[in-house]
Amino acid sequence: MGEFELINRFFRNSVLQPARRDINLAIGDDCALISVPQGKQLAVSVDTSIAGVHFLEDAPAFDIGWRALAVSLSDLAAMGAKPAWFTLALTLPNADQDWLKAFADGMAALASRYGIALVGGDTTRGAMSITVQVQGYISQGGAWLRSGAKVGDIIYVSGTLGDAAGGLHILQSEPHHAADETYQSLIQAYLRPEPRFDLLPILSSRASSAIDISDGFLADLQHILTGSRLGAQIDLKRIPISEALKTLVGAEHALKYALTGGDDYQLCFTVSPQRRLELEVSAEQSGLAIHPIGVITAEPGIKGLGAYQLGGFDHFAQPIGAQ
């Protein structure tokens, strides 16, 4: 199967290319042509996923497609942007038709939730690599920046932390638990992360800074602190950890996973104390779980960690747990 047949067969369809009035020209020419809504800023992010680094090589193709798009969309959610379009650069060792169909189906399943359209890309032969660039838009000046935190702001996280690391642990080290119903939420958290666009309505006018938790909570919180030139006081007892993760690895290791595990794609964000009550009421009314876990301080660094150290995933440093 040739490159253009591959594109036409698996990636040119009404699910991956829904009708949108802001798309003037999509797949089929040298460039896509897009009209950005008046009064909006364009938000752009790109992520590359490498087999054996960002996803398990033997993971289901559906999950690989879902995950590749999800991790990029999470960046838009962290900035408060509405997703609209994406491009895909796909490198494969061979054109396995069953794999390609499942991969495209997984990507389409997530894309259809938000009505986002695949507007272009590239396909090549080589070691498996998936690069997704996402584009969205946001009102002028409305983005949540890492540099926006203020002294006294409350630090929040959404959902529970460490679940994806727990899911990866099962798939890599304890596969006998993979079919156990108790741990399905952990495995799903790793294989099919959910971009937290559902938080945008309650955070739109309230968040002073935000970031998605991809490299580990402590590492990503530090990005906010570095950008804002501030510090943080953390209450470890308030870190939200699922019962499934505690059951799997015990409370102590569960906390380590929550602090440094990565791949959660929850949001960490800050809100002024004056807006805390209205935020928490809004979250409760919307059925959204958010957790205050600390406060922004003037003194640099993260306090309250006890024996735990700042850590997280870094492509150019030794991975967590490596000897």
Summarised one tens digit per residue, pLDDT across range 200-245 is 999 999 999 999 999 999 999 999 999 999 999 999 999 999 999 9
Considering only the top CATH level, what class is 3-139?
Answer: alpha beta
The answer to whether 21 is a known ligand-binding residue is no
CATH 3.90.650.10 location in the chain: 146-303
Question: Is 115 annotated among the ligand-binding residues?
Answer: no
**Does 121 belong to an annotated binding site?**
yes
177: pLDDT confidence band, cut at 50, 70 and 90? confident
Does the annotation place 314 within a ligand binding site? Answer: no
Q: Tell me the mean pLDDT in the region 243-257.
A: 95
- CATH code linked to domain 146-303: 3.90.650.10
Place of tokens 């019962």: 243
Full-model pTM: 0.89
Residue 47 annotated as part of some ligand binding site: yes
CATH 3.30.1330.10 residue ranges of the chain are 3-139
Q: Which residues lie across from 51 on neighbouring strands?
A: 55
214 is in an annotated binding site: yes
24-33, 82-91, 294-303: least confidently modelled range: 24-33
286 labeled binding residue = no
Residue 167 · residue 189 · CB < 8 Å: yes
* Average pLDDT of the residues in 84-101: 92
CA distance 207 to 204: 7
Distance CA 22, CA 214 (A): 30
pLDDT digits (tens, 9 = 90+) for 260-269: 998 999 999 9
What is the DSSP-derived secondary structure letter of residue 306?
T
The residue type found at 90 is: L
Per-residue pLDDT of 4-40, as tens digits, reads: 777 777 887 777 888 888 998 888 788 989 999 899 9
DSSP state of 153: P
pLDDT class for 316, splitting at 50, 70, 90? very low
